[in-house]
């Protein structure tokens, strides 16, 4: 008789994750989730990101998987999931909390990192090129208004934004 082979994959569990999330201002009602799926049924990016699954994974303590997955960064912050939740769970803000945890560990996707770098260096999320200024002039538009780069940088320093960018894992 042939033997059945079952391969088990060990997954690291962080039993404190649900408390870590629930203790934040953003994730307070995470424990109230009943896995009804109402959140996911209205999510515009549900093909890639399923908020009910994210909440479940938080409850299971799958921290490493959550903070290392690309999907949490695909959330459009539309808050449809939070509005639809019959339990007031607020999955959108739970996803925010996860992104904060990831960022504190230096896990920030490349695209967002470059937007953050632009913001720190120029005060804008995109750099204004000379081409863009020329095109504005042709269209009779005024020059792009000046930004207070130093003031902006002070705010970014104060809110630890710069530190988070510097912490990015290589």
- Verify binding: residue 93, ligand SF4, rule CB under 6 A: no
- Verify binding: residue 92, ligand SF4, rule CB under 6 A: yes
Question: Considering beta carbons, is residue 92 or 165 the nearer one to ligand SF4?
Answer: 92
* Residue 61 in tokens: 């303590």
CA–CA dist 96, 88 (Å, integer): 16
- Name which position in 76, 114, 144, 159 contacts ligand SF4 (CB under 6 A): 76
**CA 84 distance to own-chain centroid:** 20
Q: Give me the least distance between CB of 145 and ligand SF4, in Å please.
A: 31
What kind and span of H or E run contains 112?
helix 110-122
- Verify binding: residue 72, ligand SF4, rule CB under 6 A: no
Residue 50 burial (10 A CB sphere; 0-12, 13-18, 19+):
buried
CA atoms within 13 A on the CB side of 99: 19
Interface with ligand SF4: number of residues (CB under 6 A): 29
What does the binding site for ligand SF4 look like in residue numbers (CB under 6 A)? 33-39, 42-45, 49, 51-52, 55, 75-81, 84-85, 87, 89, 91-92, 95
């Amino acid at each position: 008789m042939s033997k059945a082979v079952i391969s088990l994959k060990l997954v690291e569990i962080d039993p404190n994750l649900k408390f870590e999330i629930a203790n934040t201002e953003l994730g307070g009602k995470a424990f109230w989730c009943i896995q009804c799926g109402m959140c996911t049924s209205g999510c515009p990016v549900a093909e890639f990101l399923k908020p009910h699954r994210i909440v479940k994974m938080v409850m299971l303590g799958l921290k490493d998987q959550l903070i290392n997955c690309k999907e949490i960064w695909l959330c459009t912050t539309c808050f449809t999931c939070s509005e639809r939740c019959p339990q007031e769970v607020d999955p959108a803000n739970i996803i925010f909390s996860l992104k904060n945890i990831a960022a504190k560990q230096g896990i920030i996707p490349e695209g967002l990192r470059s937007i953050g770098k632009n913001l720190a260096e120029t005060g804008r999320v995109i750099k204004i090129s000379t081409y863009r200024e020329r095109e504005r002039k042709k269209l009779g538009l005024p020059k792009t208004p000046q930004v207070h780069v130093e003031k902006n940088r002070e705010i970014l320093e104060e809110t630890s934004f710069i530190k988070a960018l510097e912490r990015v894992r290589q």
